[in-house]
Amino acid sequence: MSDSNSGQIDNVMREDRIFPPHSSFSERAVIDSMEEYQRLYDRVKSDPEAYWEAEAKSELHWFEPFDSVLKKDGINVEWFGGGKTNICYNCLDRNIDAGHADRTAIIWEGEPGDTRTLTYRELHAEVCRFANVLKGLGVEPGDVVSIYMPMTPELAIAMLACVRIGAIHSVIFAGFSAEAIADRNNDASAKVQLTADGLWRRGKVIPLKETIDIALEKSPTVKHCVVLKRVNNDCKMVEGRDRWWHEAAADASENCDATPLDSEATSFILYTSGSTGKPKGIRHTTAGYNLWAKKTFQWVFDWRPDDIYWCTADCGWITGHSYVVYGPLAAGATMLMYEGAPNFPAENRFWDLVEKYKVSILYTAPTAIRAFVKWGDEHVDKHDLSSLRLLGTVGEGINPDTWMWYHEKIGGGRCPIVDTWWQTETGGIMMSPLPGAIPTKPGSCTKPLPGVMPVIVDESLQPVGVNQGGMLCIAEPWPGMLRGIWGDDDRCKEQYWSTCPGKYLTGDNARLDDDGYYWIMGRIDDVINVSGHRLSTIEVESAMVSHENVAECAAVGRPHDIKGQAIAVFITLKDAEASEAMRDALRLHVRKEIGALAVPDDIRFCEAVPKTRSGKIMRRLLRDIAAGREAAGDTSTLEDFSVLAKLRGDEE
């Protein structure tokens, strides 16, 4: 069992500050007191089916009504069986029918400062047009469309166009390499690729289409590629395969009825890392996912029609799916979407955007907040942030000092902070303060949302006592839960449902405090969290050993000021020189195999990777060494950990 975050446990244990919601916030909040929260929680717990039946009927449009709310058969669940709905219809047509056609849906700003706004009516027209483009390429319900695009309105349009016609999107974060794209395209048998000529990042063009050209050479199932012109760079267009977005869309009609889809139809897959080397395509559904994204958005962000909401996540991650696109649009929200880096042209870009667009709800990641702290208060001080009323975080635990800075410096002491715990697999937020109701404690995600039944168990599967850490499981199904791993339902069963039979295993450790507050304490497996993004140490190791000079590799996470965790690798070389040039070559290799996000911060060469007698890598020892907790001698040359390993014995 991993103890990678044990340092963090000590920290949060000492945290006893508590912040009740500001009365100016609670007075206007939908759920405005702890009693109100508890009433709702108990009501859903005592009769979940009655609650979700009523919510599904009032919050979603049904082309055909469902005939059951929840059916459970072992680990297989079915929500709203027999019903037919459509996520895109619920996000667009339903809001237009309700009289909000002229409400702004998306306010977009590109990194160079170009802007665009789309009302619900305009977004609907663009989505229908692009849905017709997809149909024209032969895309049918159940086909997989791979999306590798910058944070532009067209990325949201592409996702919505897919779900409108029942195509399954697989969004791949635009930082992944050609190899990583090809792996995902092949696993999913993707039929169509959507991309752009490039994107803007810190003033430079990242040529996405070049990467796609390499990826598509290895993606035989992909027959067509549609390319958005974003940066106007030269790019090669392959005759018969590639088309420009603007040309294809210009010819397409604005009329495209949403396809009625089964409640349980797969809406999208999203690849994420597990504890093996192979990323898994997490499979989400239509009705249950849609309802969960919408309800959790309304609850957690206490959303009101006059809010300007900004979630800074990229659509390449689940946060972008649920809280840039589907949750806010289903609710009828007005959102800000931003293409680029937080420090371009300067470190005040986020605060400039908040002031310019009068953002009222800001949802971002602890890693970004830590960078803001480091960049200095002067970038914040020159802006008027008084439009903000609520702040959120996601992706990893937030350390209490960073929480306090966010609260005071950005929130002016008046904005509640919602620390939202959830996962790609859960589809939406699972634990978070309801901002008008639940007093917050810096570093705790506080309480489960209505419908979420967490339990913490020890290794013998017994519930643990107060303040004792254990494995966090979810005891009952919820509408937004994953329904499988694409093409590998055995792996899904094994990974999530076998450790604690009948319960969903989150992979996180957690503890419950005296007040019934949850504290997440890091992973139980070899998943590391770099800047809020999940990576498996084994993925990095596999990439490393695929380099011709590497004999063996062990990758571990170590604490990092900004990223939360950084990757440290220990390498044994095959007859090659340990040198700075070799380090550079290995970094380049990982960038090519996975992408920039997986490039290790530390590369250390050693005589041998220390192992137990049974051959297991001594990860705990390596973690300690990587974190500098254990002196390991001269790091400029080959290191020999065998002595340390012997001293430690075979404890792992």
Interface with ligand WT7, residue 283, by CB under 6 A = no
The span from the CA of 208 to the CA of 227, in Å, is 10
Q: Hey, what are 419's tokens?
A: 């620390």
Using CB positions, name the residue nearest to ligand WT7.
Answer: 424
Q: Backbone phi, then psi, for 490, in 5-degree steps? A: -65, -40
The strand pair at 484-485 and 280-284 is best described as antiparallel
Interface with ligand WT7, residue 445, by CB under 6 A = yes
Name the residue nearer to ligand WT7 (CB basis): 94 or 560.
560
Q: Backbone phi, then psi, for 97, in 5-degree steps? A: -60, -30
The span from the CA of 289 to the CA of 332, in Å, is 17
Name the residue nearer to ligand WT7 (CB basis): 308 or 521.
521
**Partners of residue 71 on adjacent β-strands:** 78
Name the residue nearer to ligand WT7 (CB basis): 337 or 510.
510
CA angle 219, 225, 230 (to 5 degrees): 125
Name the residue nearer to ligand WT7 (CB basis): 110 or 279.
279
Chain centre distance of CA 9: 23
Contact partners, residue 414, CB within 8 Å, separation at least 6: 22, 24, 25, 389
For residue 368, the minimal CB distance to ligand WT7 (Å) is: 13
For residue 258, the minimal CB distance to ligand WT7 (Å) is: 27
- Segment near ligand WT7 (CB under 6 A), from 261-269, 393-401, 535-543, 637-645? 393-401
Of residues 516-575, those binding ligand WT7 (CB under 6 A): 520, 523, 529, 532, 534
Interface with ligand WT7, residue 270, by CB under 6 A = no
Interface with ligand WT7, residue 423, by CB under 6 A = yes
For residue 511, the minimal CB distance to ligand WT7 (Å) is: 12
Interface with ligand WT7, residue 327, by CB under 6 A = no
**Residue among 32, 78, 242, 419 that touches ligand WT7 (CB under 6 A):** 419
**Residue among 133, 318, 361, 528 that touches ligand WT7 (CB under 6 A):** 318
The span from the CA of 274 to the CA of 297, in Å, is 26
The span from the CA of 142 to the CA of 76, in Å, is 20
Q: Show the DSSP H helices in 60-105 as ranges.
A: 87-88, 94-95
Name the residue nearer to ligand WT7 (CB basis): 164 or 370.
370
The span from the CA of 155 to the CA of 574, in Å, is 44
Name the residue nearer to ligand WT7 (CB basis): 85 or 424.
424
Interface with ligand WT7, residue 394, by CB under 6 A = yes
Name the residue nearer to ligand WT7 (CB basis): 301 or 421.
421
Closest to 279 in 3D by CA, of 420, 385, 177: 177
Interface with ligand WT7, residue 421, by CB under 6 A = yes
Q: Hey, what are 56's tokens?
A: 């599904």
The span from the CA of 521 to the CA of 529, in Å, is 12
For residue 433, the minimal CB distance to ligand WT7 (Å) is: 11
Of residues 473-512, those binding ligand WT7 (CB under 6 A): 506-508
For residue 423, the minimal CB distance to ligand WT7 (Å) is: 4
Interface with ligand WT7, residue 2, by CB under 6 A = no
Name the residue nearer to ligand WT7 (CB basis): 484 or 610.
484
Q: Hey, what are 375's tokens?
A: 């960049």
For residue 394, the minimal CB distance to ligand WT7 (Å) is: 5
From the number of C-beta atoms within 10 Å of its C-beta (0-12, 13-18, 19+), residue 189 rates as middle
Helix, strand, or coil (residue 102): coil
Q: Indicate the DSSP class of residue 596.
A: G
For residue 532, the minimal CB distance to ligand WT7 (Å) is: 6
Instruction: Name the site residues for ligand WT7 (rule: CB under 6 A).
Output: 272, 317-319, 394-397, 419-424, 445, 506-508, 520, 523, 529, 532, 534
